[in-house]
Amino acid sequence: MSKKAVLLSIKPKFCELIASGKKTVEIRKNRPKIDVPFKVYIYCTKGDAPLVYGSPVPNYIEENLVTTSGYSRKEAERIFDVYNGKVIGEFVCDNINKFRVFSDSIISSMPFDIEAESCLTLNNINNYIGTGISGYAWHISDLVIYDKPKELSEFYKSCVDKYCYCEGCQYGYIKYPEWVETAENLEGISYDTYCLNLVQRPPQNWCYVEELI
């Protein structure tokens, strides 16, 4: 049985910080209703300068995810694999800390330096979460940045019915052998089933997906 995972939308500048290892905590207003640890896939949003795997200098590739500020999107896509608008990697969320912001200088119930780990100021966090409101710090572990980014279409939405076979699901597709022409030909044959419940657009915040096998 497949496992439930999360697809998380993150701005390019924060994707770069995560890839460099500087950002080890992601701040969110809510959390998934699944137990830790769980797999998180990082979707890099389309805005900002192109984010690529390697150096902005052509033919000199480094093992890093960097911003190519000197290139237009079209030029960058001709030279590199551009990560904007794609799934750039994955991590395991092994812990989530709930906290509350009381002001831009006081924050409750955090066992670590939230500013350093999240690469955000308390004022940033306060503006995002809101004063007196609870937020969640997702801890990033076992980070993997893909050499080649993945398309959204490679991911499936969370299964609508874990106990239903694909044949009986509204998103199930049955592929019969080409020689099958009538219902009488179906008896005793084997066939393939496919799930068509694919992710077609990025989440505004995050969404459940099926963990890749």
CATH number at residue 17: 2.30.130.30
Looking at the fold, whether 89 and 170 belong to one and the same domain comes out as no
Looking at the fold, whether 77 and 176 belong to one and the same domain comes out as no
Looking at the fold, whether 61 and 75 belong to one and the same domain comes out as yes
Instruction: Please report the pLDDT score of residue 165 as a whole number.
Output: 58
Looking at the fold, whether 119 and 137 belong to one and the same domain comes out as yes
Residue 203, amino acid: P
Domain residues for the domain of 116 are 4-159+198-210
Instruction: Please report the pLDDT score of residue 32 as a whole number.
Output: 97
CB atoms closer than 10 angstroms to residue 97? 16
3-class SS at 79?
helix
Picking from 80, 86, 21, 72, the residue whose alpha carbon sits closest to that of residue 53 is 80
Tell me how many degrees the CA angle 149-199-7 measures, rounded to the nearest 5.
Answer: 60
Number of separate domains in the chain:
2
User: What is the pLDDT tens value at each position of the chain, 213 positions in all?
Assistant: 468 999 999 999 999 999 999 999 999 999 999 999 999 999 999 987 889 887 666 555 556 788 887 788 888 888 888 999 999 999 999 999 999 988 777 787 788 899 999 999 999 999 999 988 999 999 999 999 998 899 999 998 877 666 555 555 655 566 666 666 655 555 666 666 666 678 889 999 999 999 998
Looking at the fold, whether 168 and 87 belong to one and the same domain comes out as no
Looking at the fold, whether 166 and 119 belong to one and the same domain comes out as no
Instruction: Please report the pLDDT score of residue 162 as a whole number.
Output: 61
Looking at the fold, whether 150 and 171 belong to one and the same domain comes out as no
Looking at the fold, whether 83 and 113 belong to one and the same domain comes out as yes
Looking at the fold, whether 184 and 119 belong to one and the same domain comes out as no
Looking at the fold, whether 41 and 144 belong to one and the same domain comes out as yes
Alpha helices in the chain (DSSP H): 12-20, 73-79, 114-118, 122-129
Looking at the fold, whether 23 and 104 belong to one and the same domain comes out as yes
Distance separating alpha carbons of residues 176 and 74, to the nearest angstrom: 42
Looking at the fold, whether 70 and 58 belong to one and the same domain comes out as yes
